[in-house]
Amino acid sequence: MRHFVTIADLSADEIWRLLELAKNLKDDWRHGGNNPVLAGKALGMIFQKPSLRTRVSFEVGMLHLGGQALYLSPQEIQLGQRESVADAARVLSRYVDGIVARVFAHADVEELAVHASVPVINGLSDFVHPCQALSDLFTIYERRGALQGLKLAYVGDGNNVTHSLLFAASKVGMEIRVASPSGYEPRGDVVSRAQAFAQETGGKAVVGTDARSAVSGADVVYTDVWTSMGQEGERAGRMPLFGPYQVNAELVALAAPDAMVMHCLPAHRGEEITDEVIDGGQSIVYDQAENRMHLQKALLLTLMGD
């Protein structure tokens, strides 16, 4: 690994090494702290979008590993406007040892990776959210001790989180079922690639419109907001279409009795998920949120460690 732009670029072995490293780092953190193996190193964080989990998990993760993180706000770094993406990548590479980019256009992350001489990590783009999906795999693995053959049902908008979950689940041999309203499915090329990955690993990737069918017997029920950041103008038109895709007690009852409920947060409570479910005994959403930090520490150590 030189950069981390999308899970589709990783082999199954690379994914498993990251999951095991995240487990070891979390264990160390809980039993006295992590070794300061990134002491003297700096992470530059380019943020075009506001964030709670991505920013804090990377900043604190670098602190745990002995390094420092520098937050670069949208006002300070205007990629492609104040200066070109290529120039920003070249200049930052002279100052920092790694770059995290949370951007609107996926092409910006790709261009950063082309021109940066230090590792680039995709903290989120309009195409994928790979840090989220990898930490989700870690959270499931932590609970079940395995991933192969588990059934993950994603219900809702076929967005960047969905794309990364399709890549991640299919790479490790899971069965992923996606249910979205017609016209809001994940991209066809993403589904095709996930299905090809699943053929190699014994997994399965299925996309449809029936939420109840997707959730039936599932080990994991996953959802995300119906209107992502930047799509606020579409909210009124989306609401009536997405109503049948709400993750509520009735829908979760169709899953396996010990099914886990996941949400990448922030949640619009009462829309894509009810309070009863997100605050219920099957919810592991806050474990997900914590594990962003541990998985990202594994990424930072893999990409920036000596």
CA distances from 166 to 48, 76, 198, 252, 283 (A): 25, 34, 9, 21, 21
Distance CA 132, CA 285 (A): 12
Query: Which position among 48, 132, 282, 288 bears the catalytic label?
Result: 132
User: Is residue 55 flagged as an active site residue?
Assistant: no
C-beta of residue 125 within 8 angstroms of C-beta of residue 4: no
User: Is residue 210 flagged as an active site residue?
Assistant: no
Query: Which position among 3, 64, 102, 163 bears the catalytic label?
Result: 102
Query: Which position among 264, 288, 294, 296 bears the catalytic label?
Result: 264
User: Is residue 13 flagged as an active site residue?
Assistant: no
Query: Which position among 97, 157, 219, 224 bears the catalytic label?
Result: 224
User: Is residue 288 flagged as an active site residue?
Assistant: no
Which residues touch 7 (CB under 8 Å, ≥6 apart)?
Answer: 15, 128, 130, 133, 134, 164, 167, 168, 171
Cβ atoms < 10 Å from Cβ of 199: 12
User: Is residue 129 flagged as an active site residue?
Assistant: yes
User: Is residue 132 flagged as an active site residue?
Assistant: yes
Query: Which position among 55, 129, 177, 263 bears the catalytic label?
Result: 129
Residue 221 tokens, joined: 């029920």
C-beta of residue 24 within 8 angstroms of C-beta of residue 305: no
Residues taking part in catalysis: 102, 129, 132, 224, 264, 292
